[in-house]
């Protein structure tokens, strides 16, 4: 257990932040209140726009253009908002992290099952975040043996703040670079009428349904909703100290994050669309550097540089948030201190779990000859396959009136959540059938 002094420090820091919120609310400054309370929702959405996700969107744009996938990506972010809004309510109602609640309400067996689900997905995804950092830096001629250690040091340095609010604001500032994909997309001179037509008609699907299309569908879903998001946002809501009064701002935070993330995601797809238009085969691309180099004739050197910087940012922000989600869950399971407001001495297991997992991921990326693009797409597919059980736990907890009280799910949330679980489970089943019976779909 955390010592009394450490607990007092953690609560004192949180109380300082809450006092500022109360003063802003009492002064009738709703915009300031919102600015003070945003963070977990934006971070979780832009954090999910990570290296594998942006490369998945780029691969999608290069392989299928804008017709089918622009509206599809919009739909996946609606799904993400539904899931994360439940997570916000669960954190506010219980003031406990997701891992802690699963152990408490479902027992050790299901608790460890959920932890395995989380840690497998997080470990694989962390590796691909450093693949993104390596790939983006390669475009600028930076050696992976320089880029990856620098990325690692940035992630570790952010933890040195020992204050949730400081860590959150630093990562928020960095996450704004996710929007670099928007000017890169504009430099691709997109056909606005084609994008509007796609949104209105769910445009055509070149090449029809085949195994490659199914993999990209799963990769795009896994680029939007993954188990770590639930664990991270619920724990961040608790660490930030959000209360029932803050629920509107918590929802707005998540909605703003969803909006920014979907804009960046679609921009990445649009930026890569010239490769589709000019029939460039991206099957052998290894990562962000290859995409940027291939796009340079179509979006210019500036656009390609912005694309590469966006890939680096995506990897960095996700490495920060994903490693923290693992640390939160690890601390909750051990019933040790699990807050970014703790000092290093008291929060040693929390901080070490984040640092060690990040160091291992960074080291693995430096292994030569790894199939980088295949790994990034595969991780998003795995994330989709792991999502159904995580969503089921979330839905059960959000309906538990003993812990949720008046914030428990209503029928609309249950209907939306149930549909999402069924759709994701069906996608996973379809993928399994395609793997086992490849002749089920046309090639």
Residue 428 lies in a domain: no
Taking all residues of the chain, what is their mean pLDDT, rounded to a whole number?
86
Distance CA 75, CA 177 (A): 23
Nearest one of 248, 230, 252 to 407, comparing CA atoms: 248
Residue 413 lies in a domain: no
Indicate the Cα dihedral angle 251, 253, 259, 260, nearest 10°: -170
Residue that the structure tokens 């699907």 belong to: 205
Q: Domain holding 16: CATH number?
A: 1.10.4160
**Residue 244: what pLDDT?**
94
The number of distinct structural domains making up the chain is: 1
Which tokens go with 426? 């069906």
Residue 402 lies in a domain: no
**Residue 390: what pLDDT?**
87
Considering only 43-52, 202-211, 332-341, 423-432, which range has the smallest mean pLDDT?
Answer: 202-211
Considering only 35-39, 226-230, 333-337, 373-377, which range has the smallest mean pLDDT?
Answer: 373-377
**Residue 401: what pLDDT?**
94
Q: 31: Cβ–Cβ under 8 A, 6 or more apart, which residues? A: none
Residue 301 lies in a domain: yes
Residue 271 lies in a domain: yes
Residue 64 scores a pLDDT above 60: yes
Residue 434 lies in a domain: no
**Residue 13: what pLDDT?**
79
Considering only 78-82, 152-156, 170-174, 328-332, which range has the smallest mean pLDDT?
Answer: 328-332
Residue 277 lies in a domain: yes
Residue that the structure tokens 């914030």 belong to: 407
pTM of the predicted structure, to 2 decimals: 0.88
Residue 79 lies in a domain: yes
Domain span including residue 200 = 4-382
Categorize the per-residue pLDDT at 268 as very low, low, confident or very high, splitting at 50, 70 and 90.
very high
Residue 30 scores a pLDDT above 70: yes
385-416 per-position pLDDT tens digit = 778 888 999 999 999 999 999 999 999 999 99
Categorize the per-residue pLDDT at 277 as very low, low, confident or very high, splitting at 50, 70 and 90.
confident
Distance CA 244, CA 241 (A): 10
């Amino acid at each position: 257990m955390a010592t009394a002094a450490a607990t007092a420090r953690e609560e004192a820091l949180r109380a300082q932040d809450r006092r500022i919120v109360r003063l802003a609310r009492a002064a009738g400054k709703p915009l300031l209140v919102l600015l003070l309370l945003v963070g977990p929702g934006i971070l979780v959405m832009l954090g999910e726009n990570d290296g594998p996700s942006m490369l998945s969107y780029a691969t999608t744009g290069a392989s299928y253009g804008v017709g089918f996938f622009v509206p599809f990506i919009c739909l996946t972010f609606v799904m993400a908002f539904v899931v994360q809004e439940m997570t916000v309510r669960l954190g506010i109602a219980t003031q406990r992290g997701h891992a802690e609640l699963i152990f408490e309400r479902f027992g050790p067996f299901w608790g460890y099952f959920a932890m395995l689900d989380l840690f497998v997905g997080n470990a694989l995804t962390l590796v691909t975040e450093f693949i993104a950092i390596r790939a983006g830096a390669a475009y600028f001629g930076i050696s992976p043996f320089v880029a990856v250690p620098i990325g690692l040091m940035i992630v570790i340095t952010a933890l040195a703040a020992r204050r949730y609010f400081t860590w959150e604001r630093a990562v928020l500032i960095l996450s704004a670079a996710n929007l670099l994909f928007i000017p890169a997309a504009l430099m691709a001179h997109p056909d606005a009428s084609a994008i509007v037509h796609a949104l209105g008609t769910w445009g055509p699907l070149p090449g029809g349904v085949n195994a490659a299309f199914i993999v990209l569908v799963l990769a795009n879903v896994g680029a939007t909703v993954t188990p770590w998001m639930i664990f991270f946002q619920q724990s961040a809501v608790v660490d930030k100290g959000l209360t029932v009064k803050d629920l509107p701002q918590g929802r707005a935070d998540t909605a703003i994050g969803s909006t920014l993330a979907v804009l960046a995601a679609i921009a990445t797809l649009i930026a890569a669309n010239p490769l589709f238009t000019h029939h460039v085969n991206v099957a052998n691309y290894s990562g962000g550097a290859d995409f940027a180099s291939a796009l340079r004739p179509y979006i210019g050197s500036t656009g390609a540089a912005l694309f590469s910087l966006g890939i680096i940012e995506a990897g960095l922000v996700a490495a920060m948030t994903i490693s923290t989600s693992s640390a939160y869950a690890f601390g909750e399971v051990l019933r040790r201190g699990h807050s970014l407001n703790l000092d290093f001495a008291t929060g040693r297991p929390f901080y070490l779990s984040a640092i060690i997992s990040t160091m291992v991921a960074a080291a693995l990326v430096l292994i030569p000859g790894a199939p980088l693009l295949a790994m990034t797409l595969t991780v998003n597919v795995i994330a989709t396959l792991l999502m159904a059980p995580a969503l089921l736990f979330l839905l059960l907890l959000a309906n538990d009136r003993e812990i949720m009280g008046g914030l428990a799910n209503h029928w609309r949330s249950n209907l939306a959540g149930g549909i999402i679980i069924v759709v994701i489970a069906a996608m996973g089943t379809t993928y399994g059938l395609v793997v086992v019976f490849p002749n089920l779909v046309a090639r």
